[in-house]
Structure 1
Amino acid sequence: MGTSWSVIYAADESGQVGDLGPVSPQDLQLLIERELEAINQSLSTYIPDSEISIVNALRTEAPVQLSQRFAEVLDAALLVGQLTEGAYDVTVGPLIELWGFGATLRAASPPEAVEISAAMDLVGSDRLSWDSNSAILSRPPGVRIDLSSIAKGYAVDQLTEVLTERGITNSLVEIGGELRASGQRPEGGPWRLAVESPDPAQARFIEALSISNAAVATSGDYRNYFEYQGRRYSHLVDPRSGYPVAHDLVSVTVIDPLCIKADALATALLVLGLEKAMQLAEEAGLAAHFVARGNEALEVHYTTAFDTYRQSAQAAHTP
């Protein structure tokens, strides 16, 4: 996935973590690495013979049977796309590549309008024929699926399951900044996390959280971008317009029981922009945190559901 992973878990001095007896860190690492390799082999577009790469390379619209893993992630991604009315779309890959944020090298200038129009002809989840019950997919040749904006969250959930199956109920799983906290931290009490500030010159963290049995995912536009003739182009491309987002929303953090959902929603809400994202998040009861560029400084907004975690965090730091 082009990033790092870490796992923290609670155990006694003998390595006892539950009812299954001692589990060594070496055994756990082997299990984790095997699971990550299996996920990559299914969902990575950077591996030529991965399941998703093979599906994307098909030159026919004939239906194909997807694995349970691929089907589960695709189904979750399509549901987020429906919730956000197309602001999140798993077929956005051609636009990402065109703007230079994929595997190809970025051009010296933004693409021409005619190039964007041509790429848009290959974008749109409505071009997919998907039966979630049978896990059968068909799509026109050239239409590609990219699950990179949800795969890390899925992997976090899967690693949490690997730990749970070994009797580990107190853990913190992290992949590239996406996290899922289970039970309590080794010292006791909820896991204490923080939301990174988009402007490290002001502060390293912009929010403190106290979490148990929930996942946290953040999406931001402040790291991956390029500038051309005084204009900034974000790596977040709106699949509805074909152009990078150009609003003042800088980062979105979502808390949800599942990291797969939090991961996709953080990206989707960031594409929507502050006003629409806040409205959708409140209506859907999402725990979402927003950082936007103000006239003089960064501004913080959050939904009613998210406020619960902020209050818990404040209480946790009270002597």
Structure 2
Amino acid sequence: MLVCVASLSFILTACNKSAEQITLQGKTMGTTYTVKYIDDGKIANLPTAEQVKKQLDDVLKVVNDEMSTYQLDSQISRFNKLREVNTPFEISPDFATVVAEAIRLNKITEGALDVTVGPLVNLWGFGPDRRLDKQPSAAQINQRAAFVGIDKLALNIEHKPTLTKSVPNLYLDLSSIAKGFGVDKIADQLEMLGLENYLVEVGGELRGKGKNLQGLNWQIAIEKPNFEQGQTVQITVPLHNLGMATSGNYRNYFEDEQGNRLSHIIDPKALKPVNHKLASITVLAPTSMTADGLSTGLFVLGAEKALEVAEREKLAIFLIIKNGDGFETQMSSQFKKLIDQK
């Protein structure tokens, strides 16, 4: 079965007139968010849609204030500016949660997800620094590589959580996992309001719970693009109490002076953008944060190794792989089980 590239769309059909689907949209983390929830009229004193949006914007602002490398005064930016080694830097509990998960996923992906790879991300033109028009030199790469490695970062969660660095120029970048965490925080806020049927999306990372207006699980389509005639559905995924994330090299890239297309995803071991036949990977996990981090780490590994890890760890993944002039798809055993349940 041949496809082009995976993208996401929502398949939502409203037919239950006794309930209402509320849709909220906004901007965050350099991208957009969409939240859909079902108001069945059974929650007493449920805030208005405008009030709910204000609450969600406040939640996302806190995430940005803690973990955005684009905000110069964020917690993560202040940690990155710190040059003292082995000096505890106090962070928020949420910040610590994200770092702890990043460290756990680093082990699962055999080092492929590395949130200290920021210096290389910036060097290759995909960070807050300006984009380059040519590839960096070997000397530049080796100089930045000295700052990279999860072993150079220490998290202490006793009493007040702190981070320490063992090299002064260690640069932490949580962009591979923070959007997913933002999705989870929105979901938490919706549940605090008593809402049990919702779909949350931030920059393509998702989490769904409960039912849509049809009384069915939220259905997410991974699509096969047809750039001239629109897009056609490749596979439909039920998103019930699950997070979902997709990573790929088909959108965020740049071409150097020789016309080489360079992926925005950096291999922390090769010290350069990934270069393999895997076009995209979609991951289903209990949280969007976990799905987000895994999608990046497993994408770095490439199709064969990603499937090996997925089978070993019982991970649900769906792959789109370049095959000559077209594409083919593969999925892990756990992904197939979830699809069969829809």
Superposition TM-score tier, normalisation by shorter sequence: over 0.9
1:38-80 CA distance string (max 9 Å, x none): 1100010111111111111112111122110110111111111
- In the other structure, the counterpart of 1:6 is 34
Aligned pairs for 1:1-319 (under 5 A) are: 1-12=29-40, 16-18=41-43, 20-61=44-85, 62-134=87-159, 135-139=161-165, 140-197=167-224, 200=227, 203-228=231-256, 229-313=258-342
Runs of 5+ in structure 1 lacking a partner? 314-319
1:93-131 CA distance string (max 9 Å, x none): 110111111122222210111111011001001111222
Equivalent-residue separation in structure 2 for 1:102 and 1:250 (angstroms): 21
Equivalent-residue separation in structure 2 for 1:30 and 1:226 (angstroms): 36
SS class of match (2:274)? coil
Distance 1:176 1:17, change over 3 A: farther
Q: Which TM-score applies when normalising by structure 2?
A: 0.87
* Cα contact 2:46–2:193 (8 A) shared by 1: no
Which structure has more relative contact order (CA 8 Å, sep 6+)? It is 2
Work out the percentage of aligned pairs sharing the same amino acid: 39
1:214-246 CA distance string (max 9 Å, x none): 111111110011223243211111011111111
Give the structure with the larger helix fraction.
1
SS class of match (1:222)? coil
* Cα contact 2:99–2:155 (8 A) shared by 1: no
**Structure 1 residue 23 displacement after superposition:** 2.6
SS class of match (2:243)? strand
Letter of the 2:253 counterpart? Y
Equivalent-residue separation in structure 1 for 2:232 and 2:63 (angstroms): 32
Equivalent-residue separation in structure 2 for 1:133 and 1:249 (angstroms): 40
Letter of the 1:25 counterpart? A
Letter of the 1:309 counterpart? L
* Cα contact 1:149–1:267 (8 A) shared by 2: yes
SS class of match (2:115)? coil
* Cα contact 1:17–1:23 (8 A) shared by 2: no
Runs of 5+ in structure 2 lacking a partner? 1-28
Equivalent-residue separation in structure 1 for 2:231 and 2:223 (angstroms): 9
1:278-305 CA distance string (max 9 Å, x none): 0001110001001110023111000011
**Structure 1 residue 269 displacement after superposition:** 0.6
**Structure 1 residue 311 displacement after superposition:** 2.6
SS class of match (1:241)? coil
Q: Which TM-score applies when normalising by structure 1?
A: 0.93
Pairs aligned (count)? 309
Give the structure with the larger strand fraction.
2
Superposed CA RMSD in Å reads: 1.6
**Structure 1 residue 249 displacement after superposition:** 0.3
Distance 1:204 1:236, change over 3 A: farther
* Cα contact 2:267–2:300 (8 A) shared by 1: yes
Letter of the 1:246 counterpart? N
